[in-house]
Structure 1
Amino acid sequence: MSPADARLAELHRRARAVQPRTVTLRRALHRHPEIGLRLPRTQEAVLGALADLPVRVHLGREVSSVVAVLEGARSGPTVLLRGDMDALPLHEDSGVEFASTIEGAMHACGHDVHVAMLASAARLLAESRDELAGRVLFMFQPGEEGFHGARHMIDEGLLGPGGPAGMPESAFALHVSATVPSGDVHTRPGPIMAAADTLHVTVTGRGGHASAPHDAVDPVPAAAAMVGALQTMLTRRVDTHQPAVLTIARITAGTTNNVIPETAEMEGTLRTMSEPVRRMLHEEVRRVCRYTAMAHGCEAEVRIGSGYPVTSNDRQAAAKVSDLGRRLVGARRSVEMPDPIMGAEDFSYVLREVPGALAFLGACPPGIDPSEAASNHSNRVVFDEAAMATGVALYAGLALETLARA
């Protein structure tokens, strides 16, 4: 075993040793989830977990973020490690003993796991300060679930020469997945998650009696025609080698069974893997909706909300994660994903500024086939806490090996 591999094995052993602390923090956060950009109780829990560590702490001004900086024994670059903190607005039905006590809020995407792993990684790295040539920036971020929390933190000065630790040289984030075998590490170079935009269309006709549609202009058939026309547009206008998904998830119209409504509304999501395709589809969606409405004698107002950009991994950073994963859990369990996924991540904002990588850490519960496990964002999702020790070692190892070579 090489010295580097021996050091990594020791790091994994220490991660298992602090597992009770990691689990305790995770379960405390899980019982009291908070949603959005202001997470006072979560912020307090993070500060408590870091209180006895030799880190400089910076709090967000407008959001409940926590940034902690650990200085190594020697000067060198900065490595950023991210853990998101917010929960989702749904009722928990997981059945775990530490289930949410907050009605309508649940840590259904594993952000409680991320926070606990990152806090324990900070502890391990603090114990290894003498080996660090540079500094580690721990980014505890609110508002990942649609609130652009990473962008808010960047706007408040997280990155750049004037930031709490200067401009990072590299950045890494882990995301647990309940449908990946526990402890496995999955990542890939290049695009790994999609850009996500929202689509809202209001179709306006002229209301009337349902028995006399010829005396009205019915917006419902126009909206229905748009759904098919948009899917046809996707297959005719987008190169088959360019991933793109357009889903109309809600159509609303009318108040009762004998009235033709004046308006119909549609909402959906548009997912793409490249900025040129994203821009082109914004124009195509507007065109298709507008002219389909005109063909039915209606008008269409189209609003497209720009969401998170494409999450794109730096090739070298992704290779570093994969290599470290292979050395931690074995070559068969640290694999390169063949394809990106169409979910979205606001770590994309960080990766637009800093070369780095996002990776998925498997946390499928024991005894369950990953293909049948309740997935992230399910009200029944359960994560295997045993995987957290691997996540702690992976977080700490990425910083330690990057700065040890600096």
Structure 2
Amino acid sequence: MTSRFDSAAAALQSDLVAVRRELHGAVEVGLDLPETQRIILRELDGLGLEVTRGTALSSVTAVLRGGRPGPVVLLRGDMDGLPIAEASGLDFAATSGAMHACGHDLHMAGLLGAARLLAAHRDELAGSVVFMFQPGEEGQGGARVMIDEGVLDAAGERPVAAYAIHMDSAVPSGQLVAREGAMMASASGLQMVVRGTGGHAAFPHLAIDPVPVAAQLILAVQTFAARRLPATDQAVLSVTTLSSDSEASNILAATVSLGVNIRTLSMATLDTVRTELPALLRGIAEANGCTLDTDFIASYPVTYNDPAETREVLTVLDDIVGPERVTRLEAPYMASEDFSYVLHEVPGTLVFVGAAPEGRPKPLHSDDAIFDDGVLALQATVLAELAWRRLARA
């Protein structure tokens, strides 16, 4: 079980670890990542790529032109960290109050490795590869911004396929995970304001208190999926924010604000939630003498792995590491990913790579999450091999 890039990737391993750890310490949050961008540009220098920078964000797009005619494949790595103070105890831990707790530092380093591997074989490459280094994955929709700025047309024509790898600090190191169809959920939000009249806490009968009404709304949200959606249709609805305008213990609130996070695996389910949930909640509020303002906020769509592309990807993964290290996921993850925007435009696959050090599995976004950067050569190999084989079979 081997790849044409195995030995070259192994030779890059120490370099990839070094740049990953540099990126880890230089972590930045959001769409504006000047130091991260500087490191990426430095590492791409000398590879003979066509490199452009984003306008509305600190993205980097690099195009490798193969020596033989062929189509285009896109490979993506996200760049931003999270506003989490790191508590990993690593000697290269970030100290800025932000952290790469979702593995994006490895995503960038592995993509840089794939660029080096493929650039070394450009004369044999049948087509072009777009390397998409993307800020703002953690809620800012950076992929959508890069699409609007033309990343999908960077090589002169649309890619025939797009691939990305996501590290997982809770999965054993070196295990590869994918599935056909929905891979990750959509993410949306519902913001609500319940309006009563407020008053003196000693005389609630003289007021319309929105606080107990908000409690009823919370229960209604938590039971909505179980009673309004089929048991076979996964959806997760969570009340994540709650606040009132009362600033003293003896004042009844006039308004209560709530935020709901919504995760679904199909547009049909999302449409049901978007239509029926606010109507239900307004009815409860009005039955208690309150009014309810709602604002639905659409965010990332379902991350959908194209079935045909993913079957080919799983075959490649089996060839590289052996079937025993490839997990065909039975059910999608209910977290979300803005690579979904790319996969909405281009058929492709998101693959998870286990990066949990032995005995230290931790969930993503944890302040003490640790990623085994020993998997970087594997990540670079997988990305390079996926691009190579897809161009070869075009």
Q: TM-score, normalised by structure 1?
A: 0.95
Q: Which residue identity lines up with residue 62 of structure 2 in the other structure?
A: A
- Tell me whether 1:153 sits opposite 2:141 in the alignment: no
Shift in Å at residue 261 of structure 1? 0.8
Comparing 279-288 with 86-95, which one deviates more in the overlay?
Answer: 279-288
Q: Which residue identity lines up with residue 372 of structure 2 in the other structure?
A: D
Partner of 2:108: 115
Q: 2:73 aligns with which of 55, 71, 79?
A: 79
Partner of 1:258: 250
Shift in Å at residue 167 of structure 1? 0.3
SS at match of 1:322: helix
Partner of 1:50: 44
Comparing 322-331 with 142-151, which one deviates more in the overlay?
Answer: 322-331
Shift in Å at residue 281 of structure 1? 0.5
Partner of 1:222: 213
Q: Which residue identity lines up with residue 143 of structure 1 in the other structure?
A: G
SS at match of 1:108: coil
Partner of 2:162: 171
- 1:227-306 mapped onto 2 (5 Å cutoff): 227-253=218-244, 254-306=246-298
In 2, Cα distance between equivalents of 1:184 and 1:345: 20
In 2, Cα distance between equivalents of 1:395 and 1:18: 14
Partner of 1:382: 370
Structure 2 unaligned spans of 5+: none
In 1, are the aligned partners of 2:305 and 2:350 still within 8 Å (CA)? Answer: yes
Shift in Å at residue 285 of structure 1? 1.8
- Tell me whether 1:143 sits opposite 2:136 in the alignment: yes
Q: Which residue identity lines up with residue 151 of structure 1 in the other structure?
A: R
**% of aligned pairs identical?**
45
Q: 2:310 aligns with which of 297, 300, 318?
A: 318
In 1, are the aligned partners of 2:169 and 2:354 still within 8 Å (CA)? Answer: yes
In 2, are the aligned partners of 1:137 and 1:165 still within 8 Å (CA)? Answer: no
Shift in Å at residue 353 of structure 1? 0.6
SS at match of 1:171: strand
Shift in Å at residue 404 of structure 1? 2.5
In 2, are the aligned partners of 1:69 and 1:165 still within 8 Å (CA)? Answer: no
Partner of 1:98: 92
Shift in Å at residue 283 of structure 1? 1.2
Comparing 377-386 with 123-132, which one deviates more in the overlay?
Answer: 123-132
Q: Which residue identity lines up with residue 359 of structure 2 in the other structure?
A: G
SS at match of 1:81: strand
In 1, Cα distance between equivalents of 2:27 and 2:123: 36
In 1, are the aligned partners of 2:221 and 2:239 still within 8 Å (CA)? Answer: no
Partner of 1:345: 337
Cα distance per residue 1:151-190 (max 9 Å; x no partner)? 0001011124xx3442000000000001111011100010
In 2, Cα distance between equivalents of 1:231 and 1:159: 39
Cα distance per residue 1:332-359 (max 9 Å; x no partner)? 1112100001101100110011000001
Cα distance per residue 1:211-231 (max 9 Å; x no partner)? 111001000011000111123
- Tell me whether 1:187 sits opposite 2:178 in the alignment: yes
In 2, Cα distance between equivalents of 1:403 and 1:289: 51
Give the aligned CA root-mean-square deviation in angstroms.
Answer: 1.2
Q: Which residue identity lines up with residue 202 of structure 1 in the other structure?
A: V
In 2, Cα distance between equivalents of 1:233 and 1:18: 51
- Tell me whether 1:333 sits opposite 2:325 in the alignment: yes
In 1, Cα distance between equivalents of 2:130 and 2:160: 11
Shift in Å at residue 367 of structure 1? 3.1
Cα distance per residue 1:86-124 (max 9 Å; x no partner)? 00011110111111132x211110001000000011001
In 1, Cα distance between equivalents of 2:44 and 2:374: 22
- Tell me whether 1:20 sits opposite 2:14 in the alignment: yes
Cα distance per residue 1:354-406 (max 9 Å; x no partner)? 000001000001233xxxx2211011100011111111100010011112233
